[in-house]
A and B are shown apart, each in its own frame.
Chain A
Amino acid sequence: MEKATIGKLRGLNALVADALDAGVTRTEQIHRTIAQRPYAVLKRISPVAAPVRTVEFVETTISGMVYWTIRLATRAGGGAVAHVLKQLDADAPLEKNHK
């Protein structure tokens, strides 16, 4: 494989990682915004306000950890691909000069 091809694969890997990261972040924002609405309504009702706050905290923490795990797995996958490409790049023959 030529160095230029490996460079493009590296670029594609970085772009996919960026897109996944941005996608996960945006999904998390939308999830938070939607999830906040019922909590905001329920927290106005005095008898259930305290348990609702607890449930909201637990749910937010768990979902936050899930998103964090997805982000970590994405970055780890991207890093692994980048490492393989780095190895390939080191072994790749020098490119043919144009004319």
Chain B
Amino acid sequence: MKATATRNDTAATWSERGVSILNGMVGDYLQRRGNELAIAMSFRHDGRPLELSRSSLRATYPRLSPKLCILVHGFCCNESVWAFPATTFMPTPDTYGTRLQRDLDYTPFAVCYNTGLPIAESGKRLACLLRDLVAAYPMRIEEITLIGHSMGGLVIRSACDSALPETRTWLDQVKRAIYIGTPHDGADLERFAHLTTGTLRAVPSLVTRLVGDILNLRSRGTKDLRRGQPLTDGGPLPWLASARHNLLMGTLTKDPGHPVGRLFGDALVRVPAATAGLDTVIFPGVHHLALAHDADVYDCIRQICAGE
């Protein structure tokens, strides 16, 4: 019986991952068409959307804390990216959130969203979701720590920037933001895709134009990764002045100064050039996805959150 449940859970997990990848690729199209595969932004618990009401929060978290940590996943992922690899079946996966709950008494909330939507749109939705969480939370919140992996970091910055007066209720509680493998200076892979698309469409041939058009179908969320900020807004995304910001980056090579590590970063994202005034920690030999569930990265997050 348990084996069947585990097998079904695995199938459901893979199906959820497939839907998340699809959302990353063409999520804006799915949203526009009202397709039921489009993911609506929500907090997830045990793979299901969490209802934001006092009773639901009390039932889900028997021991609530005035300190919250919000985990925002990256492009083409969902909240399962935070799970440490488990050798045995665990009803609730071990994540940075559950470890922060155990070690520093944080209450963790993992966001799941459509990564194909423009980053500015996801930022606005996150700002509204956090407003609703603060309104429903059964006790006074003293501290909010925002943790974003990859695109999630950009969504966090966008949420802090886009919070309107009526959605700002949570902003004063944000004490720190931790960006893990976030392409603040843009992602090279998307720059390459942009260049390839432009070249293919410029060649006066039906076939190359067709391939270029197909490549250009990629979502607005993907295209926003080119500069590491919403393409529609002129200026760069500001950093929330009242919070402390930490960048945790990985490199493919054990030696972060190695030319390959400097050139390819963590395989998808390079260490941003302009990190002046921001605390940056580099994890040699940790690739992009592994940054979301790595023991050394967690130790660093714990130290940051503990103020050590």
Which chain A residues have a beta carbon within 8 Å of chain B's beta carbons? 7-8, 10-12, 14-15, 18, 26, 30, 33-34, 97-99
Contacts and interface: CB of A to CB of B under 8 A. Distances in A.
Contact of A26 (B22, B49, B50, B210): B210
B206 A30 contact: yes
Contact of B33 (A7, A18, A33): A18
Contacts of A12: 37
A99 B210 contact: no
Q: How large is the interface on B (under 10, 10 to 19, 20 to 34, 35 or more residues)?
A: 20 to 34
Given A98-B48, A99-B59, A34 B206 contact: yes
B36 interface: yes
Given A33-B206, A99-B60, A14 B35 contact: yes
Nearest to A12: B37
B50 A98 contact: yes
A11 B19 CA distance: 10
B15 interface: yes
A30 B38 CA distance: 31
A10 B206 contact: no
B35 A15 contact: yes
Contacts of B19: 8
A7 B34 CA distance: 12
Given A15-B30, A99-B50, 13 more contacts: A7-B36, A10-B36, A11-B36, A11-B38, A14-B35, A14-B36, A15-B22, A15-B26, A26-B213, A98-B45, A98-B46, A98-B50, A99-B51
B199 interface: no
CB-based closest 10 A-B pairs: A11-B37, A11-B36, A7-B36, A99-B59, A98-B48, A11-B35, A99-B60, A10-B36, A30-B206, A14-B35
8 contacts: A8-B15, A8-B36, A11-B36, A33-B206, A98-B50, A98-B51, A98-B60, A99-B59
B56 interface: yes
Contacts of A98: 45-46, 48-51, 56, 60
A38 B104 CA distance: 75
Contacts of A15: 22, 26, 30, 35, 37
Interface in B227-259: none
Nearest to B213: A26
Contacts of A30: 206, 210
Contacts of A7: 36
Contacts of A14: 33, 35-36
Interface string B30-71: 100101111000000110111100001001100000000000
Interface string B1-38: 00000000000000100010010001000100101111
A19 B54 CA distance: 43
